[in-house]
Amino acid sequence: MSTNIETIAVNRNDGTPATLGDYAGKVRLVVNVASKCGLTPQYEGLERLYEEKRAAGLEVLAFPANNFKGQEPGTDAEILDFCTTQYNVTFPLFAKLSALGDDRHPLYTALVEAQPEAIGEGPFRERLKGFGVERENPADVLWNFEKFLIGRNGQVVARFSPDVKADDPRLVAAIDAELAK
């Protein structure tokens, strides 16, 4: 039986303990983020999505990870400062964790187990291969800004490739479908 994602211990950006269960009954978009990535401007779209759909029950939950070419080297305090000053992020930001490898956080192990394939997979994976980045396990998180959608019931319902932006019709439709439940 798979792990209950709602009960996995994580820490908020300020170090206080939390779980995804703290957001029970809401639709959650879990995103591994980084400050020094070519995809970092996605923070802007994620914040806009959060502002537009928060009242309907969406939570964007950002988990900084330094697994991808060292693109999130900062401390939790530095990451918070960057996100708030550069992108006016107001959605919940969590403490840095590992989304890949031997030290992968249990949350990411459970997310990948629940949803091993990403929507929008393809072009970005091929582009990374050109830079010598290839995942042995195709189910592993590919890069920064991969998105996992968790329904109000706590089940992982979809996963989106890093290059699927917050305004992508596939992501918006999946979020709207979950919000309607």
How does the average pLDDT of the chain come out, rounded?
94
CB 98 within 8 A of CB 141: no
Query: Is residue 43 scored above 70 in pLDDT?
Result: yes
Percent share of the chain, pLDDT over 90: 86
Catalytic residue, chosen from 19, 36, 37, 44, is 37
Q: Tens digits of per-residue pLDDT, 103-149?
A: 999 999 999 999 999 988 777 777 888 778 887 788 999 999 999 99
List domains and CATH numbers for the chain: 5-180 (3.40.30.10)
- pLDDT score recorded for residue 125: 79
Using alpha carbons, list the distances in angstroms from residue 39 to 11, 34, 165: 24, 8, 9
Q: Is 83 a catalytic residue?
A: no
Instruction: Count the Cβ atoms, other than its own, within 10 Å of residue 76.
Output: 17
Question: pLDDT tier at 1 (50, 70, 90 boundaries)?
Answer: very low
What is the mean predicted confidence (pLDDT) over 76-80?
96
Q: Which of 53, 13, 83, 35 is CA-nearest to residue 171?
A: 53
Place of tokens 């995942």: 135
Q: How many CB atoms lie within 10 A of CB 77?
A: 11
With cut-offs at 50, 70 and 90, classify the pLDDT of residue 168: very high
The CA distance from 167 to 165, in Å, is 5
Q: How high is the pLDDT of residue 70?
A: 93
